[in-house]
């Protein structure tokens, strides 16, 4: 049984609740354990995963959050840099599923977060598990 850490950027509570529901359901359905921690925003997710990875307590990671385009350039920075940070960690060998939504509006985010629609939280958890399986396949 693997242990996954869900790192959520809790900014939009109602949307995060939906993402968490999907991620937890997918992990539990696969027979694995999980813990959840919360960070202030999407930019902090990669740093939290890096800190947790150093602990050696987790086998894989699920990044969750919602970034909705606003009126300023901040959206591009948050969306791009959080994705870049997660990609760097995955290139370093961590099994990560990226479930940080980057949408134009709340309606798009809601569709992607709902478990009975796009279930991006569940998909992120499944991606983390798939990458964990690849780690095992290629382990020396």
Per-residue pLDDT tens listing for the chain (140 residues): 999 999 999 989 999 999 999 999 999 999 999 999 999 999 999 999 999 999 999 999 999 999 999 888 888 999 999 999 999 999 999 999 999 999 999 999 999 999 999 999 999 999 999 999 999 998 87
pTM surpassing 0.85? yes
Which of 138, 139, 135 has the alpha carbon at shortest distance from 2?
A: 135
Tell me whether residue 74 is one of the annotated catalytic residues: yes
Which of 32, 73, 116 has the alpha carbon at shortest distance from 6?
A: 32
Out of 14, 32, 34, 74, the active site residue is 74
Residue 91 sits in a domain whose CATH number is 3.40.50.960
* Residues annotated within a binding site for (2S)-2-hydroxy-3-oxobutyl phosphate: 71-72, 112
What pLDDT was estimated at residue 66?
Answer: 97
Number of domains the chain contains: 1
* Residues annotated within a binding site for 5-amino-6-(D-ribitylamino)uracil: 11, 42-44, 66-68, 98
Range of the domain at 104: 3-138
Give strand pairing partners of 97: 62
């Amino acid at each position: 049984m693997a242990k996954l850490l869900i790192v959520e950027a809790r900014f939009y509570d109602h949307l995060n609740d939906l993402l968490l529901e999907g991620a937890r359901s997918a992990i539990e359905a696969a027979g694995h354990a999980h813990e959840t921690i919360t960070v202030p925003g999407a930019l902090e997710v990669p740093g939290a995963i890096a800190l947790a990875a150093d602990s050696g307590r987790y086998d894989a990671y699920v990044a969750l959050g919602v970034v909705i385009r606003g009126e300023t350039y901040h959206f591009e920075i948050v969306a791009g840099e959080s994705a870049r940070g997660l990609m760097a960690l995955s290139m370093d060998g961590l099994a990560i599923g990226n479930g940080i939504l980057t949408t134009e509006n709340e309606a798009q985010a809601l569709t992607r977060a709902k478990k009975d629609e796009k279930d991006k939280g569940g998909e992120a958890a499944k991606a983390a598990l798939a990458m964990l399986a690849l780690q095992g396949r290629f382990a020396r």
